[in-house]
Structure 1
Amino acid sequence: MNGSLHPSSNEVDISLKRGSAGLGFNIVGGVDQQYVVNDSGIYVSKIKEDGAAALDGRLQEGDKILAINGVKLEDLTHRATVDLFRTAGEDVELRVLKKSAHHMNGPTGSHPDHNSSASSLGILAVLAGAAAICAFLYMRHHRRHF
């Protein structure tokens, strides 16, 4: 089922035909160079303009590649995965886990997170208040002993 979405997950099968410039995307990750914390998976880091992946339109930056031509990419190094891609042939079947909606086009993905600065200011305000209370108690304590 080319391009069909499996009912219970975000996994998609994508068929690409290798063009003159390859498949038209870059990858990151592997057990030797994790891209996502506690996840040694392989992720699409860049879709090359006018490449096979861009022309197809389904593969997106941030998608996790689970298998190439039925070979699962679990516990593989980056180099081993690159070698699999190089020897995959002209017609390449990918099993892909689509990036979650949380990471897709929206304020969190495309704009700086302003909540973190507000949180930092809030923490600073609380710390300043605590310092003021400590200073007040310190001064009050020392006045009694004069």
Structure 2
Amino acid sequence: MNGGLDQPLSEEVIHLTRGPSGLGFNIVGGTDQQYISNDSGIFVSRIKENGAAALDGRLQEGDKILTVNGKELTNMLHNHAVELFRTAGNQVSLKVQHRLLPQNGPSSHRGDGEPGGIPLAMILVPGLALTVAAVWAILRYRQRA
């Protein structure tokens, strides 16, 4: 899969009130640092715990932000998008595009000093679960033999 173009999408408008730590999320992307191949959009790379976005609960890591207070983020440099968020005021309206399946953006990009990409736990937890299931199956087989 190419990281996003074939995945089902849904759009939503989310209104956030800026808190003590801002809007509570980090972004990646832009025309100067594409996060997903052939898509220069702005994406949520991290939701900060107890921030405005986390408390609202609708914005998710990997969501593409289409507009901020009605201003489109199409063909925007990363730094211009960051500045738009910083100057958006206390009441911020975001039009976002949710991905209904996990996206496969590159893990080497960083947005606003935060790591992007797939969290390590998303790789380790399924692997651990498979290992536990395999050990359990082997032990059950040996008990019956």
Pairwise TM-score range, normalised by the shorter structure: 0.5 to 0.7
**Larger helix percent:** 1
Which residue of the partner structure matches residue 43 of structure 2? 43
Displacement of 1:49 in angstroms is 0.2
Count the aligned residue pairs. Answer: 102
CA deviations over 1:75-129 (Å, ceiling 9, x no partner): 0000000010011000000000001x2317xxxx934799xxxxxxxxxxxxxxx
Identity of aligned residues (%): 57
How far the C-alpha of 1:61 sits from its partner, in A, is 0.2
1:63 aligns with: 63
The list of structure 1 runs, each at least 4 consecutive aligned residues, that deviate by more than 3 angstroms after superposition, is 111-114
Specify every segment of 5 or more residues in structure 1 that has no aligned partner in the other structure, as ranges: 1-8, 115-146
More strand by share: 2
Which residue of 2 is the match for residue 102 of structure 1? 101
Higher normalized contact order (CA 8 Å, seq sep 6+, divided by chain length): 2
1:14 paired with 2:14, answer yes
Q: Which digits, 9 at most, give the CA deviation of each residue in 1:55-85, with x for residues without a partner?
A: 0000000000000000000000000000100
The reply to whether residue 79 of structure 1 matches residue 88 of structure 2 is: no
Measured on the aligned residues, the alpha-carbon RMSD in Å equals: 2.1
- The corresponding residue for 1:137 is none
Equivalence for 2:34 = 34
| Structure number with larger C-alpha Rg | 1
Rounded to whole Å, the distance in 1 between the matches of 2:58 and 2:38 is 26
Q: CA deviation at 1:22?
A: 0.1
